[in-house]
Amino acid sequence: MPSEDAKALMEAATDAVILIDQTGRIYAVNHAAEDLFGYTQAEFIGSDVSRLMPEPDHSAHAGYLARYLQTGIGHIIGRGREVRVLRRDGSLVPVALSVGRIAGSAPPRFVGFLRDVSEQHRAMAAIQNERDYARESEAVSLRSQSRLMAVSRIATMGEMAAGVAHEVNQPLAAITNYARACERFIAADPPALDDIRDCVREIASETRRAADIIRDLRNIVKDKRVERLSANLSDIVRQVQPLLEADARAHDTQLEFALAEHLPSVMLDNAQIQQVLLNLARNAMEALATKSPATRRILISTRTDDQGAVEVSVSDNGPGVDACVVDRLFDPFSTTKASGGGLGLAISRTITQAHGGSLSHHPAEHGGACFTIHIPQTHSDPA
Ligand code: ADP
């Protein structure tokens, strides 16, 4: 039996303490061991320590001890590790176990300290679950965002079809005219070869113009993966500029750009931000339909603030946002249009928020509406 001091030390310990002799027989335990295992002192004393172990350690323990006594090489002795122990009620508990040889004991005796770590396990599992859940919901949200984007892109392009058709028709009409002129120059006697050459060159250049418009369109409608790269907001606006101009011409609207030259780059999904711009410009054009063509005006501008955040605004001089919708402008399905889906602004806000940014509305100077996409510099974590 341990001395009175050793006993007091054992009882003061919050870890379970178990002392065994060289055969594995328990000869002392503290109260914490009783609490951990559910056995009383009387039940512990004299029993084999392997009763506290599940298989395979239960059967192997006598072998571990024998090997240590022969070779001095311990399985657990002298090192700590995490194991599972068997309680009286048959349940298993994870414990941090450290076993040491009692100095000077001959034949050797051993002391084991066992700390219940099930609480840490539960906490770790909860953290892991939360991480898994966060990862899964992020993946789901990215997937549904991509699907929404694809639908919304195609819807926007449908709305822009009039402008685009008009734009493609112009080079086609020019090609037809040059082809007719060619016929005349060929029929002349002698054929006007220089004029024919000029016409053919013009036909080639008009064909390129039509092809460029179609390429821009395809780039936007293509179903793209969500992908964030370091990008300059002014460049992103420039990429959709030809399409917006075509749309504006078809709606007799004057479109102006004020693009800052040296914007800091931010992490952006190019296609998504272009989608938001197209949505905002479409809304502005639709709002301007009530005004006379000569006065319709839209301004798209970019800027940075002193925190390095970048902004792009789309403002118009239309009638402004109707009071009946202004409070729920960004809610899905809120629309004042007979044929409107009311999804454009909701999707646009979701996209900007997924970039760590915001989309806001302010009344514009002359009574129109101004929508601003704000993207902070610090958000550099690609999804
Ligand atoms: P939809 O265009 O299909 O109605 P949105 O979510 O894009 O859906 O827009 C919601 C509503 O916000 C529109 O119906 C319109 O009343 C209002 N709105 C959006 N942009 C403007 C704007 N530039 N000027 C005035 N009202 C606007």
Which residue puts its alpha carbon closest to atom 21 of ligand 1?
283
Contact call for residues 253 and 368 (beta carbons, < 8 A): no
Nearest CA to ligand 1 atom 11: 335
Percentage above 90 pLDDT, the chain: 45
Q: Which of 345, 342, 372 is nearest to 357 (CA)?
A: 372
Confidence (pLDDT) at 162: 64
The predicted pLDDT at position 382 comes to 43
Closest among 71, 27, 77 to 48, alpha carbons compared: 27
Distance CA 45, CA 26 (A): 5
Q: What is the pLDDT of residue 350?
A: 82
> Which runs of consecutive H residues, i.e. helices, occur in 222-269?
233-250
Give the C-alpha distances (Å, rounded to integers) separating 224 from 151, 152, 220, 349.
12, 13, 9, 19
Label residue 219 by pLDDT band (50, 70, 90).
low
Residue nearest to atom 25 of ligand 1 (CA): 321
Name residues whose C-beta falls within 8 Å of residue 145's C-beta, 6 or more positions apart in sequence: 226, 350, 351, 354
86-105 per-position pLDDT tens digit: 999 999 999 988 888 887 88
Q: How confident is the model at residue 163 (pLDDT cuts 50, 70, 90)?
A: low
Low-confidence winner among 72-86, 139-153, 235-249 (lowest mean pLDDT) = 139-153
**Ligand 1 centroid to 119 CA: how many Å?**
53
State the pLDDT confidence band at 383, using cuts at 50, 70 and 90: very low
Per the prediction, the chain carries an average pLDDT of 85
User: Within 13 Å and on the Cβ side, how many CA atoms surround 125?
Assistant: 6
Ligand 1 midpoint to CA 357 (Å): 20
For residue 380, the 8-state DSSP code is -
Q: Do 362 and 321 contact (CB within 8 A), yes or no?
A: no
DSSP code of residue 48:
B
Residue 328: which residues within 8 A CB-CB, separation 6 or more?
334
Q: What is the mean pLDDT of residues 21-31?
A: 92
The 26-29 sheet, strands edge to edge: 26-29, 16-20, 110-116, 92-101, 80-86
- Other C-beta atoms closer than 10 Å to the C-beta of 148 total 16
| Alpha carbons 101 and 99: distance in angstroms, whole number | 7
Q: How far is the CA of 270 from the centre of ligand 1 (A)?
A: 23
Is 80 exceeded by the pLDDT of residue 114?
yes
Give the pLDDT mean for 201-211. 90
Mean pLDDT of 46-51: 93
SS3 20: strand
The more confidently predicted of residues 360 and 243 is 360
Instruction: Please give the pLDDT value at position 243.
Output: 84
Give percent above pLDDT 70 in the chain. Answer: 87
Give the model confidence (pLDDT) of 142-154 as tens digits.
666 666 666 666 6
Start-end of H helices in 99-117: none
Ligand 1 atom index nearest CA of 283 = 20
What is the rounded average pLDDT of the residues 63-67?
A: 83
Which range scores top for mean pLDDT: 92-106, 219-233, 299-313?
Answer: 299-313
Would you place residue 228 in the very low, low, confident or very high pLDDT band (cuts 50, 70, 90)?
A: confident
pLDDT above 50: residue 381: no
Within 6 A (CB) of ligand 1 lie 279, 283-284, 287, 316, 318, 320-322, 325, 329, 334-337, 340-346, 369
